[in-house]
Structure 1
């Protein structure tokens, strides 16, 4: 499907009319109809059916539309990027991060970056943790910030921060009285399961095989921020990476180390085909500095409780 055919198909789906699509695209109605016929010939299935005077997409066309819209938006972004380079002779840095980091850390890093590069454009997006590597390697972004198990990084990864998985629970929960929480302390039915990244799930399952055996009555989500809010509203306890707590209000919550320790890192991911550009390196360094400066959530200190457990010190965490 050519870019023009893509545009025709999307317009007809959105407007429900060949005539309206032709007007929008400044094309003749026969040209739009011919373009649709060629697309159907290429695809091997019908795209539309007439219903009450409107062009209704077939089930196959509805699925095709979702992917076509994504490709079209990527194409428009690419065209804007080329136009930006042509007009301003500077550049644009495209950055993505996990939802928690994108909401709480990325905006501050963008502010620092634009102070150093005031004429540079920035795209700052949110992606699921397990989508970031593919998005960067595929060229959609120049730099991505993701959470990975362990404290080692590959050639295309710059370690931004290191931490561990922690248990988040209400301050009124009986387990909040403990200095640390182990898997066997948690009642399976009250655990909010997080299913967002198979690598992190596999890491937890290594020390708690039952983690893969969720009960039908269990609560689960694919967002760490959602898991934390579920706990905030009385839905048991959850296990998250410490970085998900940076910059959020933890009033009413207790955060306890999960044992045995499960190390995790925030890494900056590049495509690995070349060294980081100066703008990308500056942005990564800004993220690193911000995470070092971020204070621990108040509940991490165990304020008001006697806690004699020995814990390693780190400017980021209470582990």
Structure 2
């Protein structure tokens, strides 16, 4: 059976007239007759009884009418829903983002996305960097926002901006009065950092090792919020990506630019390399690139 054959049959069954069915479907009589014959041949028997005076249904034809109505309604509904997905009138997309991005830059991007596509449902997974990469790699989400991964054979990475480490200081520290601080001065204090295997910690370890700088740690924690509160309470100092700066300041710490050296890293969009994104995911990726890159450029 084809949709065209079912529409032809239903039009004749409802009008009991080939002429009126032709007018309804904008088909010629030969084309309509051919569609009905094709349907009957595929099912194995007659559905209509056609005489010179009238058209009627066989018992099999009568049994097909409600089934044909249901099948065509399902088809039309499916066609309409798919059209809405392709035109972004309907749909859903899942994204994973590290918490520092999820709570700082992502909300504004989602506001911009929502204003353009109000009927697209977005699910946000705010998880640590390593989990973002794993969720994208195992296709649990279509998009991720994370640091550039070390192994990208199966991932596509679109850079959004480069972030640099900033110093996090107690508000009453003498160092907090400066406009910037060197790594040498920062590391002379008790250092509080994230624990391994945090990507932030690994980036810090690697970058300082490349500069021949030894990292001596006084306190470690799994959570940035804990690090921020420990610094704010005067237990020591820390260094985090500038993306975390609003979070650290909200916890009561003071943030300053770091130099000697400037340590930066790329943050961007991740997606599976060999999988085509849905229309909704493509649209979200475009909005993220627009809304995230613009403020980062202005900040420079």
Question: What interval of TM-score do these two structures reach, taking the shorter chain for normalisation?
Answer: 0.5 to 0.7
TM-score by length of 1: 0.56
Q: Which residue number in structure 1 is paired with residue 135 of structure 2?
A: 135
Instruction: Check 1:176–1:104 CA distance in 2 against 1; reply closer, same or farther (3 A cut).
Output: same
> 1:148 offset after TM fit, Å?
3.8
Q: Secondary structure at the match of 1:162?
A: strand
Q: Secondary structure at the match of 2:93?
A: strand
Q: Secondary structure at the match of 2:243?
A: helix
Give the distance between the partners of 2:110 and 2:169, measured in 1 at CA.
32
Q: Secondary structure at the match of 2:158?
A: strand
Give the distance between the partners of 1:288 and 1:224, measured in 2 at CA.
26
Give the distance between the partners of 1:278 and 1:234, measured in 2 at CA.
49
Instruction: Check 1:238–1:159 CA distance in 2 against 1; reply closer, same or farther (3 A cut).
Output: same
Give the distance between the partners of 2:191 and 2:113, measured in 1 at CA.
39
Larger Rg: 2
Is residue 104–residue 248 contact of structure 1 (8 Å, CA) maintained in 2? Answer: no
Q: Which residue number in structure 2 is paired with residue 118 of structure 1?
A: 118
Q: Which residue number in structure 1 is paired with residue 292 of structure 2?
A: 291
Is residue 291–residue 316 contact of structure 1 (8 Å, CA) maintained in 2? Answer: no
> 1:119 offset after TM fit, Å?
2.3
Pairwise mapping of residues 189-268 of structure 1 onto structure 2 (< 5 A)?
190-195=190-195, 196-197=198-199, 199-200=202-203, 201-207=205-211, 209-211=213-215, 213-214=216-217, 218-246=218-246, 249-250=249-250, 253-268=254-269
> 1:98 offset after TM fit, Å?
0.5
Is residue 148–residue 266 contact of structure 1 (8 Å, CA) maintained in 2? Answer: yes
1:232-287 alpha-carbon deviations (Å, 9 max, x no partner): 23232111111112577556623222430111121100011145444323323333
Instruction: Check 1:189–1:169 CA distance in 2 against 1; reply closer, same or farther (3 A cut).
Output: closer
Give the distance between the partners of 2:168 and 2:94, measured in 1 at CA.
32
Give the distance between the partners of 1:259 and 1:87, measured in 2 at CA.
59
Is residue 105–residue 247 contact of structure 1 (8 Å, CA) maintained in 2? Answer: no
Give the distance between the partners of 1:246 and 1:186, measured in 2 at CA.
20
Q: Secondary structure at the match of 1:205?
A: helix
Q: CA RMSD in A?
A: 3.4
Give the number of equivalent residue pairs: 210
Q: Secondary structure at the match of 2:298?
A: coil
Give the distance between the partners of 2:188 and 2:115, measured in 1 at CA.
48
1:105-154 alpha-carbon deviations (Å, 9 max, x no partner): 2233222222222222211111111221121010111000012489x9x9
Is residue 155–residue 271 contact of structure 2 (8 Å, CA) maintained in 1? Answer: no
Instruction: Check 1:247–1:184 CA distance in 2 against 1; reply closer, same or farther (3 A cut).
Output: closer
Give the distance between the partners of 1:222 and 1:181, measured in 2 at CA.
25
Q: Secondary structure at the match of 1:104?
A: coil
Give the distance between the partners of 1:231 and 1:285, measured in 2 at CA.
37
Pairwise mapping of residues 274-289 of structure 1 onto structure 2 (< 5 A)?
274=275, 276-289=277-290
Give the distance between the partners of 1:158 and 1:171, measured in 2 at CA.
37
Q: Secondary structure at the match of 1:244?
A: helix
Q: Which residue number in structure 1 is paired with residue 299 of structure 2?
A: 316
Is residue 112–residue 291 contact of structure 2 (8 Å, CA) maintained in 1? Answer: no
Q: Secondary structure at the match of 2:124?
A: strand
TM-score by length of 2: 0.59
Q: Secondary structure at the match of 2:272?
A: coil
